Amino acid sequence: MNLPAALDAARRGHLYPAVILDGGDAGVRRSAALELARALLCQEAPEARPCGVCRHCRRIVWPGADGGGAFHPDFQVLERDLKASTSVDATREMLKTAQVSPFEARGQVFVVASAESLTGEAANALLKNLEEPHVSAPRHFFLLAPSRLDLLRTLRSRSLAVFLGPAEPIDPAAVEPLARAFGAAVAAWTASGSPVYLLSAAAALLAAGGWEDPRSGRPWAVAAAAVLRSLALAEEAAGRRARLALAEALLEGPAMRLRGIAAERILEGLVARHLAG
């Protein structure tokens, strides 16, 4: 199914209880989850959902995003709590809310932000919940992941999959100059130990551009690609492991931006932590 069809089903209240939102980048998946949640909980007539302005729509925002502290008691997002996974404890905590009736809206929406990171135990807890007979009001679970293939087969078989399109490919020609500038700065840092070169390395990644949208994963993906490319460019790249760890950490950038930290500060912090730490 595609997003417009899923939105249409949500408007009419016919959306499948468990929906996998895969493809796109992290920002695309978040936006789709918010739009679907608003379509489900909006108080306007079905054809006008989501209106975007009612008391439900306005408060359905991604946690930490600048929604002026907006919060909807019937919309919950579960983000990975352990470094690389979404734990069974956090999942059970979310499922507790799914045992009670909605507080304000017609139903409840639960979003698992990185469903590919659910531990086996967490995925099974979720699965058990999906198999239980319905409580009085509709409950919806959105499982966000880069690919549905990253999820347990049992979870996939009980969910409707909505593909959001391929992640936009990264142009190698755009990455190349960033990789060279980053590599040169790291080499200078290694040779001199002067922290000013760590700032230059962060500035090289900032040149990826496109930082205006805090939800977009794209500039982070470009920066990560530049760090990886810098390894291939140097004959003897210093700090191979550190650079691999930095590239991985960069992909988590949008989560930090949504906590209100500027991209430049995040880049400087990550570069310093991984290359000088």
Closest to 115 measured CA to CA, from 102, 100, 125: 125
Residue 57 or 246 having the CB closest to Zn ion: 57
Structure tokens that stand for 270 in this block: 């990550």
Residue 107 or 253 having the CB closest to Zn ion: 107
Shortest distance in whole angstroms from residue 60 CB to Zn ion: 9
Alpha carbons 187 and 34: distance in angstroms, whole number:
43
Shortest distance in whole angstroms from residue 50 CB to Zn ion: 5
Question: Which residues, other chains included, contact 125 with Cβ-Cβ below 8 Å and sequence gap of 6+?
Answer: 88, 91, 92, 95
Q: Which residues pair with 112 in a beta bridge?
A: 78, 143
With CB under 5 A as the contact rule, the residue among 26, 32, 40, 42 that binds Zn ion is 42
Shortest distance in whole angstroms from residue 37 CB to Zn ion: 11
Residue 42 or 205 having the CB closest to Zn ion: 42
Structure tokens that stand for 135 in this block: 């409580």
Residue 102 or 183 having the CB closest to Zn ion: 102
The reply to whether 199 sits near Zn ion by the rule CB under 5 A is: no
Alpha carbons 251 and 249: distance in angstroms, whole number:
5
Structure tokens that stand for 89 in this block: 């404890």
Q: Which of residues 48-77 bind Zn ion (CB under 5 A)?
A: 51, 54, 57
Q: Which of residues 87-116 bind Zn ion (CB under 5 A)?
A: none
Residues in touch with Zn ion (CB under 5 A): 42, 51, 54, 57
